[in-house]
Structure 1
């Protein structure tokens, strides 16, 4: 991401947050310093991704974040990755593997690192992300092949639902919204 895009996003986030802590997630010391500022009872939700990034953050950023959270004793972590990560890789078409397979592999490594941690984690794999409002039609599923899209707002609603429940610890969910089309 270019400096201007990053600066604009940080400024926008500042208007939505009581406190904003930002860092370069590809730098271990930066991540450790950021996590050191968090209260012990913090619930962490990460949507980090490498879209257009010169240095992929999907794996290394989440590895540094997971390690820092473990060291600080912060337990609850919701990682948002993507459909076709982990065991759902087999459902990714050859064309998609060629186009964005490297990013999916990075996210898969992040999931594996988190799953081997001491954290109380949940992984959420949304389908194709679209801009749009909450629909209340998003569906969580596990262990089945799904295809589809979902709005970012609906993913946020489902993430909140997951975080408010104790049941999803150690679980992996996928989510799509049958009312949202790819196109």
Structure 2
């Protein structure tokens, strides 16, 4: 089984990712948390944890890690330090440790943050992190969902490299998409947007994987 580090494991989406990985046959989740007090609930479920603060040195967090899902965020409070520089720091550590794949939870609008009417600074930070990942030589997938909701997931999405419209999507479906993108042959060096839709997640990922068009 491959060890998957989840940055932002204690977040709303991060916790869903951890549970999906825990129940999978292919992966062993490693929950990266910022505080010791956050470790207990994961350890009670026999989930491996590692302390890592994205504002500090996190090189130790990638030891014995095969793949990474970056689902961390500052909630708008420290977009430069966490969402941008923290992500870049983990990307660099992943590269130094020869991590096999890095899956980034980004955001719709991160491709053109200057056109955003709100959340402009956040989208700029996500854009910088995405560009850093694309230039890293790592194998990566960048997933840009619409507005996240706490609705029950449907297991279905609408996926395209550019959807051309906004929308929303359940966190459960975003988590499933991120986990699906961990596979070696799925969406390598691809950037795509997702919202709620009618195509089964696995099928949507397989379709875009058969039509590779790496992002410039």
Q: TM-score, normalised by structure 1?
A: 0.79
Once the 2 structures are TM-superposed, how far is the Cα of residue 165 of structure 1 from its aligned partner? 5.5
Q: Which residue of 1 aligns with 2:97?
A: 72
Unaligned runs of 5+ in 2: 1-33, 199-216
Higher strand content, 1 or 2? 2
The CA deviation string for residues 125-156 of structure 1, in whole angstroms up to 9 with x for no partner, is: 11111113221222221123121111110101
Q: How many residues align?
A: 164
Once the 2 structures are TM-superposed, how far is the Cα of residue 91 of structure 1 from its aligned partner? 5.6
Q: Which residue of 1 aligns with 2:59?
A: 32
SS at 1:104 equivalent:
helix
Unaligned runs of 5+ in 1: none
Give distance in 2, aligned partners of 1:115 and 1:125. 14
Give distance in 2, aligned partners of 1:32 and 1:178. 38
1:20 pairs, out of 29, 49, 53, with 49
* Equivalent residue runs for 1:77-156 within 5 Å: 77-86=102-111, 88-89=112-113, 92=116, 94=117, 96=118, 100-156=119-175
Once the 2 structures are TM-superposed, how far is the Cα of residue 21 of structure 1 from its aligned partner? 1.2
Give distance in 2, aligned partners of 1:143 and 1:69. 27
Q: Which residue of 1 aligns with 2:72?
A: 48
SS at 1:45 equivalent:
strand
Give distance in 1, aligned partners of 2:154 and 2:67. 25
Structure 1 residues 171 and 12, CA gap change in structure 2 (3 angstroms):
same
Computed over aligned residues only, the root mean square deviation of the Cα atoms, in angstroms, reads 2.4
Structure 1 residues 14 and 130, CA gap change in structure 2 (3 angstroms):
farther
